[in-house]
A and B are shown apart, each in its own frame.
Chain A
Amino acid sequence: MNLDEIKYSLKNLAKRKLRSGLSILSILIGITAIFALVSFGLGIQLYMDTLAEEAGADKLYVQPKGAGMPGMDENFFLTQDDIDFVAKINGVKDITGAYFRAGELRFKKEVTYYFVFGMDLNELEFFMEGFNIDIIKGRGLKKGDMNKLVLGYNYQFEDKIFKRALKVGDKVELNGADFEVVGFYSEVGNPADDAQIYITLEAFEELYPEYIDQFGFVLLSAEKGVNPTELADKITDKLRKHRGEEEGKETFFVQSFEDIIKTFGDIINVLNGVLILIALISLIVASVNIMNTMYTAVLERTKEIGIMKAVGARNENILFIFVFESGMLGMLGGIIGVLLGYVVASIGGAVAAGAGYSLLQPAFPWYLIVGCILFSLMVGAGSGFLPAIRASKQKPVDSLRYE
């Protein structure tokens, strides 16, 4: 490997600008797609990591089983007695139960249907910590707030939920009863959670008298040093006995926050993996294209190869020249592909945020950028390998004779 060989390769690429350009184009398209897809996968991973850190890996949920969405099935629920029982189990630090039902919200002739949370004000701080939400406008709920509610993030904007934006002090109707908006929670990052409606436990009981003492959702945290997964097993065991249920026939389940995030992450990874696999097909095609270009180059330069060999070039020198050439094609494609991928992913992220999925944001760590360029370089060099071997094995005498 020396400078002359590199210079010679680059000169050849420059001489066949159109062909080099088309080969680079074919590889950069695939790299663009892969870079953009992986950046979204990594972005979601990052989001979940921060969520686990901020909301805390020490959190656990107890929810009733049921058909359909947990907590929504009115035949299965948890009671205050269950909550008090779990609170006394060793290793449980904070605990709060929440009511959880579908609600009908009206604002100036418009109507929408979302979930209503009834929150226990004694444990409000803990509830907000568990959901990773804060009051960003107005105030939170206080003792005695019977006809006041706090809304999810998206209600503050036009055309997200209602045509008109809501503000603190607006009057709305929840299930036909008059309520006043006193505040808004911060953004969670998905349209369902950002459309939720929050009221006090007492207001909920007045609004849904038939569901008193039927909790859909219990949030708790483990004491420091207690393994959440082990605590989950312990709670399952004890609560089953307390509720008089047989093993395997529980009508509730306990899940640690970590498990939920892991399940969610696994699903996302599989989906993203499938998309990346499909995008990889285009790289195979690009690699065939590069191979084609390089075979043509070898054919065209048969005589040149003969001359080089005649003046003392060794097989390795010829091999290196052609592998280097195709590797350069790959690397240039990779660099441009990464740049384009960055643009595509950024636009995609902005579109997702506009649609309410601000958790779908791309991440661009350095190893993704370097990895994509290196990968592209390897695809290029790899595809050039067979043509380069053919070139290096040519007999100088035959090559010189070739016309």
Chain B
Amino acid sequence: MFTDYFRIAFRSLANRRLRTYLTMIGIFIGIAAVVSLIGLGQGLRVAITSQFGILGTDILSVQASGVTFGGPPGSGAITPLTSDLADKIERINGVDIAFARYIDTGTLEFNDIQVIGFAASIPHGDERKVIEKMLNLKTEQGRLLRDDDTKAVLLGHDFTKDDMFGRGISSNDKVLIDGIQFRVVGIIEKKGSFMFDQGVFMNERTMIDILETDEDEVDVIAVKVKDEKQIEAVQERIENLLRKERDVDVGEEDFVVQSPQAMLESLDSTLFAIQLFITIIALISLLVGGIGIMNTMYTAVLERTKEIGIMKSIGARNSAIFALFFIESGFLGMVGGGVGILLGLTFAYGLAAIGRLALGSDLIQASIGFDLIFGALLFSFVLGTIFGVLPAVRASKLNPVDSLRQAK
């Protein structure tokens, strides 16, 4: 009985081949657009958020408030953090280690070409081991920095490429930083994140003594807590201490204590909003495809009025007629969706590959998971059935006597 529904539905679709194809084309264009755009957007979001390397559920960062756009952490701060704060935070119950990080700007010259960029400090002693582990620093050439290094610098992987200075830098090369000669002790292995791959790292003392970075203007204080389950309590204790130190009331804080995750989430929500907007515009074409299904189904009902009359007069119930047309439109949606997903996958990965070649940026990635594929398939089926409901209802409610008479 049930298989009969499917047989009749498929036969009538096969009878009107041209119309069936055109209707499905409408759906698969829409699905292909939505799948490829969501896939590309997802890939871009993953790529961008993975740029921000320091992740860990046991880490907090402390920064002075200020204008948060237009520069690296700490650059827009009004009342900078002082260097004694790191030690005071370290004494808080539950804090494993806390250390100051300096980020400064300057020029870097090699092969007679000069660029302007950031350098970040690496602390000395035990704290060095912690940050090396926290950032998972490993070298592909040379070695990491040591306590006795002065005028020494550790560079990211991108500096080994020829395009930045006309020729790649390798370890033991000499570079000029703010006009002062530095030795490259090592190159960090490629991480796929600009914070590392384009990073310039040097010892804290080198930065303060040689590049004259102000020791009392700390850009970020990195805090590692002892127990990640206690992170919220520790965060509160740090906030209390800073309020006292900086003499501000609750609600008037001129500093921010947050986890790297919290920072990422706010960035990700902006990216998500953009992705949503683009997806909505792409969804318009699916809506149009749905209207195409509705149109086709109304036409089918009209054409088969006589057939419906005959089926009803030999005992078909309203529900059976409804099921017949409902299956037909659902099938149109789902097959269109299936082809659309294949096309969307090809598009997304193809465009991402072309984009990477054309722009030379690893940021352009497509990421299509099973949830997206399954979701799109389900969505196209639902779309087909939703737009098939009205025509199917009309078909099921036809009066058998009228339908037999009305047909030519």
Chain A residues proximal to chain B, CB less than 8 Å:
18-19, 22-23, 25-27, 29-30, 33, 65-69, 72-76, 102-104, 106, 109, 111, 113-115, 175, 248-249, 251, 275, 278-279, 281-282, 284-286, 288-289, 291-293, 295-296
Q: Are A292 and B292 in contact (CB under 8 A)?
A: yes
Given contacts A113-B68, A281-B29, are A22 and B116 in contact (CB under 8 A)?
Answer: no
The distance in angstroms between the C-alpha atoms of A358 and B252, with both chains bound, is 30
Q: Are A67 and B71 in contact (CB under 8 A)?
A: yes
Query: Chain B: which residue is nearest A284 at the CB level?
Result: B29
Contacts of A111 in B (CB 8 A): 65, 252, 254
Task: Give me the 10 closest cross-chain CB pairs, A-B, nearest first.
Answer: A69-B70, A68-B71, A282-B285, A102-B67, A102-B76, A104-B78, A249-B114, A289-B292, A292-B22, A67-B105
Q: Are B71 and A285 in contact (CB under 8 A)?
A: no
Task: List 15 A-B pairs, Cβ < 8 Å.
Answer: A30-B284, A68-B72, A72-B76, A73-B75, A102-B67, A104-B65, A104-B79, A175-B78, A249-B114, A281-B30, A285-B25, A285-B26, A285-B289, A288-B26, A292-B296
Contacts of A65 in B (CB 8 A): 116
Given contacts A282-B285, A292-B19, A293-B295, are A67 and B72 in contact (CB under 8 A)?
Answer: yes
Q: Are B75 and A285 in contact (CB under 8 A)?
A: no
How many chain B residues touch A (Cβ–Cβ < 8 Å)?
52
Given A67-B117, A76-B105, A288-B22, 7 new contacts (CB under 8 A)? A26-B292, A30-B285, A67-B71, A67-B105, A111-B65, A113-B65, A288-B25
Q: Are B18 and A69 in contact (CB under 8 A)?
A: no
Q: Are A114 and B67 in contact (CB under 8 A)?
A: yes
Q: Are B282 and A278 in contact (CB under 8 A)?
A: yes
Contacts of B106 in A (CB 8 A): 75
Q: Are A66 and B105 in contact (CB under 8 A)?
A: yes
B135 within 8 A of A: no
Q: Are A289 and B33 in contact (CB under 8 A)?
A: no
Could you say which of B37, B105, B291 contacts A26, with CB atoms under 8 Å apart? B291
Give chain A nearest CB distance to B246 CB in angstroms.
Answer: 12
Give chain A nearest CB distance to B195 CB in angstroms.
Answer: 13
The distance in angstroms between the C-alpha atoms of A25 and B387, with both chains bound, is 14
Query: Chain B: which residue is nearest A23 at the CB level?
Result: B295
Query: Chain A: which residue is nearest B30 at the CB level?
Result: A285
Contacts of B2 in A (CB 8 A): none
Contacts of B19 in A (CB 8 A): 292, 295-296
B310 within 8 A of A: no
B233 within 8 A of A: no
Could you say which of B25, B71, B249 contacts A72, with CB atoms under 8 Å apart? B71
Contacts of A26 in B (CB 8 A): 288, 291-292, 295
The distance in angstroms between the C-alpha atoms of A279 and B29, with both chains bound, is 12
Query: Chain A: which residue is nearest B79 at the CB level?
Result: A104
Q: Are B288 and A22 in contact (CB under 8 A)?
A: no
The distance in angstroms between the C-alpha atoms of A26 and B289, with both chains bound, is 8
Q: Are B284 and A29 in contact (CB under 8 A)?
A: yes
Q: Are A285 and B285 in contact (CB under 8 A)?
A: yes
Contacts of B117 in A (CB 8 A): 67
B142 within 8 A of A: no
Could you say which of A115, A275, A289, A296 contacts B278, with CB atoms under 8 Å apart? A275
The distance in angstroms between the C-alpha atoms of A109 and B22, with both chains bound, is 64
Contacts of B284 in A (CB 8 A): 29-30, 33, 279, 282
